[in-house]
């Protein structure tokens, strides 16, 4: 990948692939009138669900996105974000481990 810039879209595509490989779905999430909501809703077998905000490498969620993340977390919802493939992999490990621990 030398000389090739990794984009937010490539991170999003990787999340979709990894969730699919785990037997789940990663739906594009759009909530009209609610700017700042996370990009994807990842649903894994066993009912494990998380909102995931995806960013280009080195980028962080905006202030509005951070506010939405906190709002969802305060409701007990699992919300996270990733700016690289390694972060996506960590999210999947966490989701799959928590799913396994609840059964």
- What pLDDT digit, counting tens, does each position of 17-74 carry? 999 999 999 999 999 999 999 999 999 998 999 999 999 999 999 999 999 999 999 9
CA distance 91 to 55: 14
Task: Note the Cα 46 to chain centre separation in Å.
Answer: 17
Q: 1 pLDDT exceeds 50?
A: no
CATH of 8-98, one of 3.40.50.970, 1.10.3720.10, 3.30.70.360, 3.40.1350.10: 3.40.1350.10
- Which parts of the chain fold into alpha helices (H)? 8-21, 63-74, 85-101
Q: 2 pLDDT exceeds 70?
A: no
Q: What is the mean pLDDT of residues 7-26?
A: 96
Q: Where along the chain do its domains lie?
A: 8-98
pTM: 0.87
CA distance 81 to 12: 11
């Amino acid at each position: 990948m030398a000389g090739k810039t990794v984009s937010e879209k490539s991170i999003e595509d990787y999340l979709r692939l990894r969730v699919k490989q785990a037997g789940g779905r990663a739906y594009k999430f759009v909530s009209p009138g609610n700017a700042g909501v996370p990009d994807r809703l990842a649903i894994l077998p066993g009912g494990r669900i998380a909102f995931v905000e995806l960013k280009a490498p080195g980028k962080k969620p905006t202030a509005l996105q951070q506010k939405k993340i906190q709002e969802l977390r305060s409701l007990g919802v699992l919300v996270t974000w990733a700016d690289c493939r390694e972060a996506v992999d960590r999210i999947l490990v966490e989701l799959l481990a928590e799913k396994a621990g609840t059964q």
